[in-house]
Structure 1
Amino acid sequence: MMKFLDGVKVVEIGHILMAPYATQFLGDFGADVVKVESLEGDYYRNLGLGRKRGMTAQWMSVNRNKRSISLDLKDPEARETLNALLKDADIVVHNMRVKAIERLGLGYQAVKAINPKVVYCAAIGFGQDGPYADFPAFDDIIQAYSGLAAVNGVGSGKPTFLPIAIADKVVALMLGQAMLAGLHRQRATGKGCYIETPMFEAAVTVVLNQHLNGHTFVPPEAGLGYKRVMSPYRQPAPTQDGYIVHGVYKYEHWQRFLAETGRQDVLDGPLMADQHAMANNIAGLYEIASNEILPTRTTAEWREFFDRLDIPCAPVLQMEDLEQDPHLRAVKLFEEYDHPSQGRLRRTRAPFSVRDVDVGSDRHPPEIGEHTLEVLREVGLSDEQIATLQARGVVRTFSDEEKPAARKAGW
């Protein structure tokens, strides 16, 4: 944990992936992130692989450096308890549909009335000023709506999902920037604000950042789609014994590559007449490289070749290669730690290195309601008040007695 945000309090009313991934980074940066869960817990807790119910590998990967409280937000008394927490929050973030959060009495105006300086971040599917405002959204839906699945399928000829929740994760990074921007303004002016980060609009900006292309100009100068990136031959290229990705990109790269591989015919031809011809014919150049040139040598031979020509290249690693990758091992990206209820675990650390910043130990991903008692006491509830809420079944706590018996192996 890097203490950039020491003293900042974040209340996350989040679930699944987008808001939790964004707030985990704030927790990595030292903010006190309090995750508000239902009595059943975040739905993502039970999606994926786990040693016990409620703590899957997938959920734990986006919920370190947080404290968990578990409340029945439909209960007025439990909601009043949450209001006491919201009163001192710097940032409140949710990724629920707006009408659903407002039915709980936790919309922007309601929270602003409790805490005028709050930075309130709504991470939602679709902007609230458009006809899709009430549509449900998750990663697959947004990959489809945004054109991402379509452009990803250029090589295969059919729409294809990326096999990671890319929309959730990219939009989460935008959400993190939005939260920090709001926090900076709050610190400078003492004023709060509302920030809406819709997945659809955000993902479209990612897709069209390069692919708006000719439609950047009014009237359009050409069609949509950046030729180099859209080429079906911009793929890992087959070698004699595997695949390689080459960085033959600039005009001078192509000149060196074609000359050194004996393809003077291409170098002297219309595809390489000048830099503009190269750019306009990039798909044809990729096709020649992938189909005619790169299959003639081994991956190791091509790596030596490209290194000699000072052209970037890379082998295609499998997921199984990553844990043993010499660079990742040297920078200690993978780390093992002991979780109080899960035993010995492995994770990827936050991908930052810092100097001249105080650091501390990370918080383990919490059990449902692991910090309910702690947080409720911090906001001023007495043990008697907490006992009443427990007796009514509107809060959930996690005690040592609920932890599974430790297994001998790996603990």
Structure 2
Amino acid sequence: MSSGPLTDVRVVDLTAVVMGPYCTQIMADMGADVVKVEPPEGDIVRYVAEGPAPGMNGVFMNVNRGKRSVVLDLTSDEGAAALRALVETADVFIHSMRAKAIAKLGFDYDAVAAINPKIIYTNCYGYSRRGPDAERPAYDDTIQAECGLPAVQKELTGDATYVATIMADKVTGLTALYATMMALFHRERTGEGQEVEVSMFETMASFMLVEHANGAMFDPPLGPAIYPRTVAPNRRPYRTSDGHVAALIYNDKHWNAFIASVQPAWNCDEFATLALRARQIDRVYGLLAETMLERTTAEWLQLFAELEIPATPINTLDSLFDSPQLNAAGLFETVETPEGLVRFPGVPTWFSRTPGRVAGPAPRLGQHTDDVLDELGLTSDRTETTVSDENRPEFINNRSLGATEPG
């Protein structure tokens, strides 16, 4: 029923956890038929939090909405044959296993392209195969550390900490999405399929160095790899007389409007230009912090609105669901699911002709195995299997053709 720009695109999704599933969730919302191939025990993110039903927590349901779950054991002849049949019908094949693991199962690029030469085959790795760390395991926390995020946080706060969101997973998922779409665009023009590689470490190193490369980009270096404004210790929401406010009084227009209204004494050569203020940015932030204590949050927000200075109170994540802006923009979509009504944070983009939308509920484990195998004409070849107790959570007992190991 979708009208999204990826309508009629079929994606065979062997990813797990968040990085790959986030990528393919967006594809599903944009109209693609995403067939999620799971092991008998299921994608491990099914079990990282409580939910309204076993294996159906908020994280899993959000990044796997609108997909079809098929349980296959790729170590069995039947499971491998089913996946090969599925590959024949696919436009995209995407996985998040290490290179040796997917090759051992017989589904590396060469094997898949031999079945379907026009396929777009996307590898989601921790580290590029072209480096010495190719086979190292990787998770969001370790990649955050390796790409320098905790070190940058230490510059800001004095303590090396992770960012309080799984940034590496999500940024790499978005990168995998745009890389896959570029390959599909090339195929539309030329008819050529190809292999795509997206790795967490390389993606996050590139992401962090967008602004932080700074003086280190030059030969010889003109300074360290750091963007001073973002690590200034006084760069934080300003404390007011009764709370906090976030404001960016940064460019010359905003600065001049602020000092004319609040601090005329700062109209001096010392702070006259953005370049001069940038050289002493932490001092500038400190002076602003002292000034912000003089009024209430509401008073500052009213003034900043009059001066057209970017400013906002500090929201909680829960408060986002009640945001007038987000609700007017239609970000949230309520979907009826077997687990009850679910209010999804939906599609943040808008298309005038091919709009996306929340593709539907997330699947129960193996929910669509019969349907997909029927579509492939494999009904008569199916066999009944169960997962041994020592290899699965006790509440899973699905018919399957087995599965891949999570990436």
TM-score by length of 2: 0.91
Residue matched to 1:160? 161
Residue matched to 1:376? 373
Distance 1:358 1:269, change over 3 A: closer
Residue matched to 2:381? 385
- Select the residue among 339, 348, 353 that pairs with 2:350: 353
Q: Which amino acid aligns with 2:380?
A: E
Residue matched to 2:108? 107
Rounded to whole Å, the distance in 1 between the matches of 2:249 and 2:307 is 10
Q: Which amino acid aligns with 2:108?
A: G
Deviations 1:337-357 (A, max 9, x none): 2212x1222221222233222
Q: Which amino acid aligns with 1:245?
A: A
2:341 alignment partner, SS class: strand
Q: Is the 8 A contact 2:120 2:180 kept in 1?
A: yes
Q: Is the 8 A contact 2:30 2:355 kept in 1?
A: no
Between Structure 1 and Structure 2, how many residues are aligned? Answer: 391
Residue matched to 2:56? 55
Distance 1:359 1:24, change over 3 A: closer
Residue matched to 1:149? 150
Q: Is the 8 A contact 1:14 1:93 kept in 2?
A: yes
Rounded to whole Å, the distance in 2 between the matches of 1:8 and 1:141 is 34
1:343 equivalent in alignment to 2:340: yes
State the shift of 1:275 in Å. 3.5
Deviations 1:194-219 (A, max 9, x none): 11101001001111100000012211
State the shift of 1:97 in Å. 1.1
State the shift of 1:256 in Å. 2.3
User: What are the residue-to-residue correspondences of 1:182-197 with 2, within 5 Å?
Assistant: 182-197=183-198
Rounded to whole Å, the distance in 1 between the matches of 2:380 and 2:268 is 86
Residue matched to 1:276? 275
User: What are the residue-to-residue correspondences of 1:30-45 with 2, within 5 Å?
Assistant: 30-45=31-46
Residue matched to 1:304? 302
Q: Is the 8 A contact 2:386 2:398 kept in 1?
A: no
State the shift of 1:247 in Å. 1.8
Rounded to whole Å, the distance in 2 between the matches of 1:274 and 1:84 is 64
State the shift of 1:273 in Å. 4.2
Deviations 1:167-209 (A, max 9, x none): 1001111110011001111121111111110100100111110
Residue matched to 2:285? 286
Residue matched to 1:131? 132
Residue matched to 1:315? 313
Rounded to whole Å, the distance in 2 between the matches of 1:33 and 1:170 is 20
1:34 alignment partner, SS class: strand
Q: Which segment is superposed worse, 72-81 or 34-43?
A: 72-81
Rounded to whole Å, the distance in 2 between the matches of 1:318 and 1:332 is 19
Distance 1:359 1:195, change over 3 A: closer
State the shift of 1:372 in Å. 0.7
Rounded to whole Å, the distance in 2 between the matches of 1:135 and 1:32 is 32
Name which structure has the greater RCO, CA cutoff 8 Å, separation 6+. 2
Rounded to whole Å, the distance in 1 between the matches of 2:123 and 2:358 is 29
1:240 equivalent in alignment to 2:241: yes
Rounded to whole Å, the distance in 2 between the matches of 1:327 and 1:360 is 18
Q: Which amino acid aligns with 2:118?
A: K
Q: Is the 8 A contact 2:95 2:124 kept in 1?
A: yes
1:187 alignment partner, SS class: helix
Residue matched to 2:392? none
Deviations 1:346-401 (A, max 9, x none): 221222233222667733100111111111111121x3212xx2258799549xxx
Distance 1:128 1:46, change over 3 A: same
Residue matched to 1:21? 22
Residue matched to 1:214? 215
Residue matched to 2:267? 267
Q: Which amino acid aligns with 1:293?
A: T
2:196 alignment partner, SS class: strand
User: What are the residue-to-residue correspondences of 1:393-408 with 2, within 5 Å?
Assistant: 396-397=398-399
Q: Is the 8 A contact 2:31 2:359 kept in 1?
A: no
Q: Which amino acid aligns with 1:240?
A: S
Rounded to whole Å, the distance in 2 between the matches of 1:55 and 1:224 is 43
State the shift of 1:149 in Å. 1.9
1:4 alignment partner, SS class: coil
Q: Which amino acid aligns with 1:375?
A: V
Distance 1:89 1:162, change over 3 A: same
Aligned residues: percent identity?
A: 37
Distance 1:348 1:392, change over 3 A: closer
1:390 alignment partner, SS class: coil
State the shift of 1:143 in Å. 0.6
User: What are the residue-to-residue correspondences of 1:55-134 with 2, within 5 Å?
Assistant: 55-134=56-135
Q: Which amino acid aligns with 2:267?
A: L
State the shift of 1:76 in Å. 2.0
State the shift of 1:263 in Å. 4.7
Q: Is the 8 A contact 2:49 2:57 kept in 1?
A: yes
2:229 alignment partner, SS class: helix
| Structure 2 runs not aligned, ≥5 long | 389-396, 401-407
State the shift of 1:296 in Å. 0.9
Rounded to whole Å, the distance in 2 between the matches of 1:360 and 1:18 is 20
Q: Over aligned residues, Cα RMSD in angstroms?
A: 2.0
Residue matched to 2:391? none
Residue matched to 1:367? 364
Deviations 1:61-92 (A, max 9, x none): 10012111001111122101110101221111
Q: Is the 8 A contact 1:49 1:58 kept in 2?
A: no
2:342 alignment partner, SS class: strand
